[in-house]
Amino acid sequence: MFDDMQKGRRVLLQGKYEFLRATPVTEGLMAFGFACGDGWLPILEDLFERIDEEVKRSALTDFKVVQVKEKFGGLRVYVEGGNDAIEELIAAASKKAEATCEDCGKPGRRRTTNKGKLHAWMKTQCDACFTLKMQK
């Protein structure tokens, strides 16, 4: 799913911040890494840098990111031990992801395929990535 360069980028990002470190599955889902496309990695990198500043500024010693994923075409970041400032940072990153292709990072929009069918899906994509997906 991810090329070697992107795998490395994901591993480096997860290892950069203590609050992203993988924990046993019983404690959180970060052991699985980021369950979203590479196009959102710049958004996550910016988000986690800002969260790190807030964690240090507010001395949030128990803060951790529990899960990062795509759901219904949107970016979801679940945390424990945060504060209102962190929730605002996450909301802003999620808003930015709504207009960013999850696959390539170009401007995109939420799309739904197979509407009304059992296997419908929602994903935020640019025109090119959506067309490519539909051709498969």
What is residue 35's predicted lDDT score, i.e. its pLDDT? 87
- State how far the Cα of 61 lies from the Cα of 82, in Å rounded to an integer: 10
59 inside domain: yes
Q: What is the DSSP string of 9-27?
A: HHHHHHHH-GGG----TTT
Model pTM score: 0.85
Domain that holds residue 28: 4-98
What sign does the CA torsion over 72, 76, 78, 84 have?
negative
129 inside domain: no
| Identity at 82, one-letter amino acid code | G
Count how many domains the chain has: 1
- pLDDT tens, the chain, 136 aa long: 446 666 778 778 888 888 887 665 545 556 567 889 999 999 999 999 999 999 999 999 999 998 899 999 999 999 999 999 999 999 999 999 999 999 999 999 999 887 666 667 889 999 999 988 766 6
119 inside domain: no
What is residue 30's predicted lDDT score, i.e. its pLDDT? 66
What is residue 133's predicted lDDT score, i.e. its pLDDT? 73
What is residue 26's predicted lDDT score, i.e. its pLDDT? 46
